[in-house]
Amino acid sequence: MKQFDYVRPATVTEAVAAAAQPGAVYLAAGTNLLDLMKGGVSRPDRLVDVTHLDGLDQIETLADGSLRIGALVSNADLAHDPGFATSYPAVAEALLSGASAQLRNAATVGGNLLQRTRCAYFYDTASRCNKREAGTGCDARDGENRGHAVLGWSESCIATHPSDFCVPLVALDAVVEIEGRNGRREIALDELHRLPGNTPERESALEPGDLIVALRLPPAARGFSAHARYLKVRERTSYAFAVVSAAAALRIENGKIAEARLALGGVAAKPWRARAAEDVLRGVAPTADAFQEAAWRALADAKPSGDNAFKIELARRIVVRALTLAAAGTPARVPALPASPFASTSGAIHA
């Protein structure tokens, strides 16, 4: 492996200073970063290990009713936190549908948000990739791309963001708290990931040294707990990235949808909030027709980037199903096969 410096700062301020140097990156659990380093995809000069920083592993309810989740909370701890799944069931379901139990035990909230695309050409250093090496070209564009983006892509890059966790988060207006060289700021999660445009190498709104310290779910996010689901179609029952996924959350009052939230995963370089679909659902009864209409709106701008036209039709169907499941009500417990179409199968074997 390439020789690199390893630093373990004692404070957030020191961490930011250390990571602001060229060639430095943060290391959380490393379940993504270390794989990339072993494959020669990332070749950092310096790892800034944040796992020992104090105070970043808390889950706390703030005075205004928002939930603040430290960046170092593990995916598993968050999903299994008492009360979390009750208040934010779609988020818990998404977390538990990701990766494997071992990976979830290690992976952190911050790392999950910033995990890199699974585009095979990005991982394969023998291929050309604009994201890995700006301006070299995109071998996925005419390659094996049935898993690639159908929304928001550009000729420079057709990759998707693979996180499950981010999908319900973006639907619920999650906010990211960032500590940077100029102090603390916060942005909507929806603004964290960038669409590729002509600069797919710039993946997020973060600047050098920026450290995600926490994630916040606003008070309104709890309001959907009675009708919130995450649905993920994948090529095996567990331990696979989404082909397409959707998070659907509804606030139903007097038999009508007072407010709807919808986001798609596996379709774009960012978790894809479908606001136009949400708009058509406001104030209508939760019917199959309404959900169909929402699905059409959600995918109105979709176009295939390769052998992946099926993902558009699949995404529509997933939207309809996710909304249908959400309308039917959140199950009392996270299903044994979280987010699976087979979640409701009786006697399901645990994923």
Partner 1 sequence: MPELNLTSAPAHLRHGSNIGQPLTRRDGVLKVKGQATYAADNHPPGMLFAVTAVSGISRGRVASLDVVAAKRHPGVVDVMTPDHKPPLAVDPEIKTNPFVFRMEVLQSDEIRYANQPIAVVIAETLEAATEGAALLAPRYEVQPALVGLDAGESFVPPVVGVGNPTELHRGDVEAGLASAEKQIDAIYQTPPQYHNAMEPHAIVASWDGDRLQIDMPTQGLMLSLARIAELFGIAHDKIHIRSPFLGGGFGSKGLMAGPQTLGIMAAKLVGRPVKLVLRREQMYGPVGHRAPTRQRLRIGADGEGRLTALDHHARTVSSTFDDFYEPAADASHTLYAAPAIRTSHDAVRVNTGTPLFMRAPGEATGSIALESAIDEMAWACGMDPLAFRLKNYAEVEPISGKPFSSKALRACYEQGAARFGWAKRSLQPRQMRDDAGFLVGWGVGTATFPALMFQAQARAAIRRDGSGVMEIGAHDMGQGAWTALAQIAADAVGLDIDRVEFKAGTSDLPDAGIAGGSAHTATAGAAIHSAGAAVIAKLADLATNDERSPLFGAGNAGVIARDGRLVRRDDESRSESYAEILARAGVAEVEAGGTGAPNPAAMEEYAMHAHGAVFAEVKVDPELGQVRVTRMVGAFAAGRIVNPHLVKSQLFGGMIWGLSFALHEEAITDRRSGRIMNANLGEYHIPVNADVPPLDVITVDEHDPHVNALGIKGVGEIGITGSAGAVANAVWHATGVRVRRFPIRIEELLTQS
Ligand X SMILES: Cc1cc2nc3c(=O)[nH]c(=O)nc-3n(C[C@H](O)[C@H](O)[C@H](O)COP(=O)(O)OP(=O)(O)OC[C@H]3O[C@@H](n4cnc5c(N)ncnc54)[C@H](O)[C@@H]3O)c2cc1C
**Residues interacting with partner 1, by CB under 8 A?**
1-3, 39-40, 100, 118, 120-121, 124-127, 139, 142-144, 146, 233-240, 243, 310, 313-314, 317-318, 320-321, 337, 340-342, 344-346, 349-351
Q: Which does 107 bind (CB under 5 to 8 A by kind): partner 1, ligand SF4, ligand X, none?
A: ligand X
Binder of ligand SF4 out of 72, 159, 211, 274 (CB under 6 A)? 159
Q: CA of 162: how far to CAs of 51, 115, 348, in Å?
A: 23, 8, 25
Q: Does 36 bind ligand SF4 (CB under 6 A)?
A: no
CB-wise, 162 or 223, nearer to ligand X?
Answer: 162
Asked if 263 and 168 touch (Cβ cutoff 8 Å), the reply is: yes
CB-wise, 151 or 337, nearer to partner 1?
Answer: 337
- Chain positions 141 to 200 lying near ligand X, rule: CB under 6 A, are 162-165
- Chain positions 63 to 122 lying near ligand SF4, rule: CB under 6 A, are 117, 119, 121-122
Dist CA 274 CA 291 (whole Å): 13
Q: Does 129 bind ligand SF4 (CB under 6 A)?
A: yes
What does the CA dihedral 145, 151, 153, 154 come to, rounded to 10 degrees? Answer: 110
Q: Which does 3 bind (CB under 5 to 8 A by kind): ligand SF4, partner 1, ligand X, none?
A: partner 1
Choices 78-86, 112-120, 185-193, 330-338; region in contact with ligand X by CB under 6 A: 112-120
Q: How far is the CB of 167 from ligand X (least distance, A)?
A: 9
CB-wise, 122 or 291, nearer to ligand SF4?
Answer: 122
Show contacts of 181-189: CB within 8 Å, 24+ apart: 181/16, 181/17, 181/20, 181/207, 181/208, 181/209, 184/213, 186/216, 189/113, 189/215, 189/271
Asked if 85 and 334 touch (Cβ cutoff 8 Å), the reply is: yes
Q: How far is the CB of 232 from partner 1 (least distance, A)?
A: 10
Q: Which does 88 bind (CB under 5 to 8 A by kind): ligand SF4, partner 1, ligand X, none?
A: none
- Chain positions 6 to 35 lying near ligand X, rule: CB under 6 A, are 25-33, 35
Q: Which does 208 bind (CB under 5 to 8 A by kind): partner 1, ligand X, ligand SF4, none?
A: none
**Cα end-to-end span (Å), the chain:** 34
Q: Does 263 bind ligand X (CB under 6 A)?
A: no
- Name every residue whose Cβ is closer than 8 Å to that of residue 203 and which is 6 or more positions away in sequence: 116, 131, 193, 194, 269
Judging by beta carbons within 10 Å of its beta carbon (0-12, 13-18, 19+), is residue 346 exposed, middle or buried?
A: exposed
Q: Which does 163 bind (CB under 5 to 8 A by kind): ligand SF4, ligand X, partner 1, none?
A: ligand X
- Residues in the site for ligand X, rule: CB under 6 A? 25-33, 35, 50, 71, 98-99, 103, 106-108, 110-112, 114-115, 162-165, 211-212, 241
- Residues in the site for ligand SF4, rule: CB under 6 A? 117, 119, 121-122, 129-131, 138-140, 157-159, 200
